[in-house]
Structures are given as structure tokens and as C-alpha cells.
Amino acid sequence: MSLPHVLVLPGLGGAGPAHWQNWLAGELARHGGSVDVPEFSAPDAPRLDVWLDELRGHLAAARVSSARVSSGQVSSGQVSSGQERVVVAHSLACLLWLHHAAGEFDGALRVDRVLLVAPPAPGPAGEPFARGFPHPVPDPVSVRRAAVSTRLVVGEGDPCCSLRQAKGLAEALRLDLDVVVGGGRLDEESGYGSWGSVLKWARSGRTPLTPR
């Protein structure tokens, strides 16, 4: 079975060199997978409309062109006909994906699997990460239209999203939820420079997501 094409969506400020998203892209490429890590415009001062256009451009390109990896990563392989398409989003990019899902449906952009990691909570708890990216009205139907399956992952002790808020979001969107014990923000500052279970999920959909 071929490896999926993986679109890795960084949050505010992009994914630094020590972030697990860059590690994931490198591991997938090293094993011959096709990977795309977009370098969104103005990563430190994002605009929702601009990022949405860029996201949809990457989703469309995945169907017809060789995969490319931004931010210094190297990709191998091409997106082949029938190849599974997977999205791995972190932090602000989770809200980006939900806004994409809530927009006008385009079946050509539908993907197979999505992993939403450490979304900021609605309201003040999510600031400054969610500034300009308000939570769309929870709509499980639109989420299912955007992807065949979607999974939510949060870290215990995340300062931007409490477990109560994460469970509320998962229930509203009817998503499976994994809670990573001691995971915090699930970023490099929380010690997530590598993360074996997210690599397994990206390659095969294996769950649940566990600590590194």
C-alpha cells in the first residue's frame, strides 16, 4: 500500500525547525512519501481570507502535481491517482481548516483524513492565537463533507484550550478526541520535537494518539 500524500498545516508563526511538524515532514519524505508544508503569507500576522485561498490552492495542487515541501523540507514521490490525501493541522491551522470546511463545498478538495492538533479555544482563552480567526459555528455536517474522517487531539494542561473546552468542541463536531497526558500545547516548547504516534497516524490512520 502506498503512503498517503500529507499536507502539514502550521499555525501562527509557522513550524520552527524543532517542531514535530517539520520532523513529521522529514520522516515521511525519508520513507518516500509525498509531503507538502505550505509557507502561508505573513505567518506572524495572518489574514483568514488569504490563508484560506492558499490552503485551497494546495489542496487543488495535490491532485495534479508533484508534491513539494516548503520551509526547507525535501519531498519525494508524486501524488498518484487514488492516493489517500491526509491533512495534519496544528493550533491556528485547526481553525483555518474548520473555516475551509464551513465554506462553499467543493468535492474536488475533499480529503480522506484530517488530524486537528491543539486548536485554540473560543474566546479570550485562545488569544492571541485565534485573533482574526474566530471559531465558526460548529457544524458536523460540513466537517464530514470536507474529509471522510477527522480526529481531534489536545494536550493535558494546554493553556489555550482546557479539556472541558476541547471535549465541548469534539462533542459539537462529533469527533473522536485523544487527550495526550502532560502534552501541554503539543509544540516544541512542550517537548514535541518528534512524535512517533502522529507519524503512525499519518501513514496508516492508527489511533489513539499517545505521548511522544
Give the residue extent of every domain in the chain.
Answer: 5-204
- In the numeric block, the cell 513529521 is attached to 24
Query: What average pLDDT does range 146-161 have in this prediction?
Result: 96
pLDDT at residue number 99: 95
Contact 94, 151 (CB under 8 A): no
* Segment (H or E) for 144: helix 140-146
Q: Which three cell numbers stand for residue 30?
A: 525519508
| Count of CA atoms in the C-beta half-sphere (13 A) of 147 | 24
Contact 91, 119 (CB under 8 A): yes
pLDDT surpassing 90 at residue 140: yes
Least confident of 9-23, 69-83, 87-101, 194-208: 69-83
Assess if CATH 3.40.50.1820 describes domain 5-204.
yes
pLDDT at residue number 3: 87
pLDDT at residue number 142: 96
pLDDT surpassing 90 at residue 57: yes
Q: Which three cell numbers stand for residue 83?
A: 492516493
